[in-house]
Amino acid sequence: MNKIVTVGREFGSGGRELGRRLAEELGIAYYDKEIVTEIARRTELSEQYVQSVVERKPVVLYPIHVGRSFYPALDAAAERSSAVYAQQHEIIREMADKSDCVIVGRCADYILRESKPLRLFVYADMESKIARCRKKAPEQEHLSDKKLARMIKKIDAERAHYYFFYTGKKWGDPLNFDVCVNTTHTDIKALSKAIAKLCE
C-alpha cells in the first residue's frame, strides 16, 4: 500500500505550503490544484467553475414534491456540483493508487479512509492567518484586518459545510484526524521537516 498523507487546512494557516514542503521532504508526489485541472478536463467545465464548486457550499436539489420544473437552473447547478464531486472522488483514488503522495484538501482524508492515510489538519490563530494572507495578497489589495478576518471566516465556513455535506463529519474535529498542527508563529519549512520524520 502506498504512503499517503492528506492535509485539511484552515484558510491562511499555511496548510498548502506545508503539504508541498512535506512532499518535497519525502520525495513523493504532491496533488492540489492538479485535481481541479483534471476534473475540468474530464467534465469539460472551466477550471474557474470547478474551483468555485470545490470546497464551497454544495447546491442541493429541492425535495421532489416541490417540483423540479420550477427550478431548472438550480437543478442543473446541483447536477454539475454532484458531477464535480464524483470526478474528484475518482481522481483522488487514482492518484493514491498510482504512487506515494500528499493530497491537500477536497475531503481526501475521508475519500481515502480505507487506505489509512496519515491525516493532518492544519490550523492557526486569526492573527497568523491574516499575516499569511497579507504576504500572498496582490499589491493592489488593501483589505482592513476586519474585512480580511471576515473573508477568512467565510471561506472556512464554506469548507466546513462542504466537508460535512460529503462526509457527515465535522471539519477540523481532532477525532477525524491523526495529527492536528498549529502553525501560529511557526516556521512552515522547519515544521515540514519534523512532520516528514513522523511519516518515515
Q: Specify if 183 maps to a domain.
A: yes
Most confident of 88-92, 114-118, 136-140, 142-146: 114-118
Domain that holds residue 162: 4-59+88-199
Q: Specify if 104 maps to a domain.
A: yes
Q: What is the pTM of this model?
A: 0.82
Of 92-96, 123-127, 133-137, 140-144, least confident by mean pLDDT is 140-144
Which CATH number goes with the domain that contains 158? 3.40.50.300
List the beta strands (DSSP E) in the chain: 4-9, 29-31, 101-104, 118-123, 179-182
Domain count, the chain: 1
Q: pLDDT grade, residue 56 (50/70/90)?
A: low
Query: Which residue type is seen at 191?
Result: L
Q: Specify if 74 maps to a domain.
A: no
Q: Specify if 73 maps to a domain.
A: no
Phi-psi region of 121 (alpha: psi -120 to 50; beta: other; left: phi over 0): beta
Q: Write the DSSP symbol of residue 78.
A: H
Q: pLDDT grade, residue 74 (50/70/90)?
A: very low
Cα gap 200→46, rounded to integer Å: 38
Q: Specify if 107 maps to a domain.
A: yes
On the question of pLDDT at 54 being above 90, the answer is: no
